[in-house]
Structure 1
Amino acid sequence: MTALAGSTADAFWATSLRRWNTVCWLLFAVMAVGLVAIDRPGGSKYAALALLGGMVLCYAVLDRFPNNPVVRPHVYLWVLVVALGGLAYLRGNYAALFMVTLPHYWMFGRTPRASMVFLGLATGATLAGSVLREDGWNIGFFTETLVSTLIVVAVGALIGLWARSVVAQSAERAELIAELEQAQAELTEAHRRQGAADERERMAREIHDTLAQGFASIIVLAEAARAGLGSEPARTAQQLRSIESTARENLAEARELVGSAQRPGQAAAGPVARTLRRILDRFAEDTGLTVDADLADLECDQQTRIALLRCTQESLANVRKHARASTVGVVLARQPYGVELEITDDGTGFVVEESTGFGLDGMRKRLAELGGRLTVTSSVGDGTRVQALIPLGVRA
């Protein structure tokens, strides 16, 4: 971030240098032509050309090789101070050269203090050279030169300080923008990772609630069919038909999950009670348990419909695997606050706090996404009661 701020400041000064380079080189060329073509031959002419040439050479090297170990920025500023003082002493009317070099003190000074020091030295050298060039002391000339020079220097100092302030603010803004961009990138990456994690969790929940339960049913039915293969052919045939039907349903569920077409169970038409009744009939047929169902004929949105089906499937799967129950009761009712699904069994029960399975946790998360809640009541020897509550009218 600091590097970015520094590069912004460097870019500002580089742009300023390019603009002033054109002005400086034009002025250097005009002065060189004037010295050669207009001034009379003599020592002062050649000395002025030497000072101008030395300043131009130093400036050219610094401009062409900014990292040159010999001609460093402060070396050039010292040469500029000496050249301005010498030219003011040797020749007159060098105010234009003095003014056009004012930005150089701010461009090449490492700090504002160094820039002000070199600007003061150049001002003093120029004034001293101008005064010494006069044959005698002229208070009027000195006062006029001093006032005009100080005005130019004051304006140059104010502009330089303002430019430094602009660069500092630009650097701060660049650093702040860099921080904001980095924070935004981190937030975007966090959202991406969270989205991927949520999608993996959703897929795991769907697989657990659909494919895993179907495969568990197939295994149980296959074991029962093998056990009664010789003694109960009719029962075995029915179980084989159930295996085939369950396998076909699992295949359809897998295709929907892989293709991301529709959520499992979405294809079923009609009220949710009709689909639940079909699930309960299949469960009773496969397990031989008594199922008492009181299912209200109600309409609900697709997300609520899927949640109710998945909670029913998971609860029935738990009854099949763990409860050793004889009777299962299922009640679906419309309440003032939403939809209530209650599933009970007279099985062995369990300690709810000690449950570590994925199924109950998956149901809780699924209902929580819809603003609902899951309540599980059970104790060892007293059966189990699962209650799912989903508010209606909240989602679009």
Structure 2
Amino acid sequence: MSEVGRLARYLLIPRVAAPVLTLVALRADPPAVALLLGALSGLNLLALRFWTRLPHGRLHLLLDQVLALGVLGVVGSGTPMVLYLMASGVLAGLTYRARPVLVAGILTSLTYGGFLMLRAGYVPGEIDLHTTITLPALLLGAGPAGVAVRRLLVRQERTATQLWKLRRTHAVREERLRVARDLHDSLTKDLHGVWLLSRTLRAALERGDQDSVREAAGVIGETAQGLAGQSRMVIRGLRESGPAVGGLVEALHERAAGVSAGHQLAVEIQAHEVDLDDASRNVLLMVASEALHNVVKHARARTVTLTLAARADAVVLEIEDDGVGFAITPGFGPGHYGLLGMRERAARSGGEFAIRSAPGDGTRVRLTLPVRRSPVPARGEAFLHRARVSRA
């Protein structure tokens, strides 16, 4: 049921109460009027119970108003039945179109004024400012007020529907971007690593270097096993959503070792342990992995330095290499999906991403993330990691 239908049902409650209160005021005298009021209250109880099944047309509006005015003429304008007519006007405004509601309101006000002047009913109303001016104005305005409320509720429902559609479209777009980032940051770069390792394996086979062959084959096997696990995570829509295992520095060591395996690259890590929430930890590790893969894939660097520093309200990750560098284009240009992904991850976490590079001058990537929890005390001196593997 819509909000208009719910409000219409609520307006049936005073229509049930008004005949009962009038019955109490008349003290069941005469019995015929008491029977009429009881029947009217019972009809509204049935309407309250079966509101959605009732037909709503102009004829029903006319019959309802005629019945209510007839009862008012019998019991008098000084009874609570006036509240019944007001509730009926608002209910009519919620249910019917504006023109018949306005006509019904005018007729109701005129009829009420006639009953008042004729002193009709068992309890005639007092002729004063309230009964001759205020009540007729309220009876006349009840219908238009119901129409205005109905239009407002309909507009609100329409706006809510449009907002829901926009949110659904935005959610689909965000999901597509998430899947694209996951595929790029996990499967794509590791597949490229497998390709590079296959070249190393082929070169080692041509040289007859069995030790290098075994090492490269082992790394390829481990990478393939990791790819299988990452593909399952992408399919399930997960992205390292499980509880963090081990410290952040340990995870950075593992990422650096996995990226530099099979490549002649020295990776130096200088970092103090920092306590981050799972989302910030995941963003930091993803950006670190992507930056290191870019170094291996494009930079032709010999050394890369990874620094993790904690501030009072933020944690800063810097990755700097001594490679060939490149010219940064506005918006990173087409094809730089890794850089776009790193910037999007930082923005979604409320952080900042910056990159500095120039041809022949290396590259420095900087990620700043807000810290929601205070950094834990450092575990001794800064951790240092170096990994160097011969590359064919």
TM-score range, shorter chain: 0.5 to 0.7
Alpha-carbon distance, 1:183 to partner: 0.6
Runs of 4+ in 1 over 3 A off after TM superposition: 10-13, 18-24, 106-113, 147-150, 154-164, 265-268
In the alignment, the residues of structure 1 paired with residue 241 and residue 132 of structure 2 have an alpha-carbon distance, to the nearest angstrom, of 79
Q: Between the two structures, name the one with larger relative contact order (CA 8 Å, sep ≥ 6).
A: 2
CA contact (8 A) 1:209 1:310 kept: yes
Aligned to 1:317: 293
Alpha-carbon distance, 1:177 to partner: 0.8
Which of 334, 346, 349 is 1:370 aligned to?
Answer: 349
Which of 312, 318, 329 is 1:342 aligned to?
Answer: 318
Q: Matched residue pairs, number?
A: 282
In the alignment, the residues of structure 2 paired with residue 316 and residue 283 of structure 1 have an alpha-carbon distance, to the nearest angstrom, of 7
| Partner SS for 1:224 | helix
Q: Does 1:270 align with 2:249?
A: no
In the alignment, the residues of structure 2 paired with residue 239 and residue 341 of structure 1 have an alpha-carbon distance, to the nearest angstrom, of 30
| C-alpha RMSD of matched pairs (Å) | 4.0
Cα-to-partner distance string for 1:299-321 (whole Å, 9 max, x where unaligned): 32212211121111100111122
Unaligned runs of 5+ in 2: 9-55, 71-84, 93-98, 375-392
1:377 corresponds to which letter in structure 2? R
Aligned to 1:259: 236
Aligned to 1:233: 210
Aligned to 1:381: 360
CA contact (8 A) 2:187 2:227 kept: yes
Alpha-carbon distance, 1:246 to partner: 0.7
CA contact (8 A) 2:313 2:370 kept: yes
In the alignment, the residues of structure 2 paired with residue 388 and residue 110 of structure 1 have an alpha-carbon distance, to the nearest angstrom, of 64
Aligned to 2:268: 292
CA contact (8 A) 1:268 1:275 kept: no
Structure 1 or 2: more helix by fraction: 1
2:232 corresponds to which letter in structure 1? R
Counterpart mapping for 1:46-195 below 5 A: 148=118, 163-195=139-171
Alpha-carbon distance, 1:18 to partner: 4.2
CA contact (8 A) 1:338 1:389 kept: yes
1:321 corresponds to which letter in structure 2? K
In the alignment, the residues of structure 1 paired with residue 345 and residue 136 of structure 2 have an alpha-carbon distance, to the nearest angstrom, of 65
Q: TM-score, normalized by length of structure 1?
A: 0.61
Flag the 1:302–1:109 CA change in 2: closer, same or farther, 3 A: closer
Q: Does 1:391 align with 2:366?
A: no
In the alignment, the residues of structure 1 paired with residue 144 and residue 101 of structure 2 have an alpha-carbon distance, to the nearest angstrom, of 13
1:372 corresponds to which letter in structure 2? G
CA contact (8 A) 2:58 2:100 kept: no
Cα-to-partner distance string for 1:1-56 (whole Å, 9 max, x where unaligned): xxx99xx9x758724514636998xxxxxxxxxxxxxxxxxxxxxxxxxxxxxxxx
Alpha-carbon distance, 1:371 to partner: 2.1
Alpha-carbon distance, 1:161 to partner: 6.9
Alpha-carbon distance, 1:285 to partner: 2.4
Aligned to 2:63: 17
Q: TM-score, normalized by length of structure 2?
A: 0.61
Unaligned runs of 5+ in 1: 25-102, 124-146
Which of 219, 244, 252 is 2:221 aligned to?
Answer: 244
Cα-to-partner distance string for 1:150-180 (whole Å, 9 max, x where unaligned): 9x9x999998875443222211111111001
Flag the 1:157–1:309 CA change in 2: closer, same or farther, 3 A: closer
CA contact (8 A) 2:187 2:231 kept: yes
CA contact (8 A) 2:244 2:278 kept: no
Q: Which has the larger radius of gyration?
A: 1
Flag the 1:235–1:166 CA change in 2: closer, same or farther, 3 A: same
2:63 corresponds to which letter in structure 1? L
In the alignment, the residues of structure 1 paired with residue 309 and residue 247 of structure 2 have an alpha-carbon distance, to the nearest angstrom, of 13
In the alignment, the residues of structure 2 paired with residue 174 and residue 345 of structure 1 have an alpha-carbon distance, to the nearest angstrom, of 65
CA contact (8 A) 1:12 1:167 kept: no
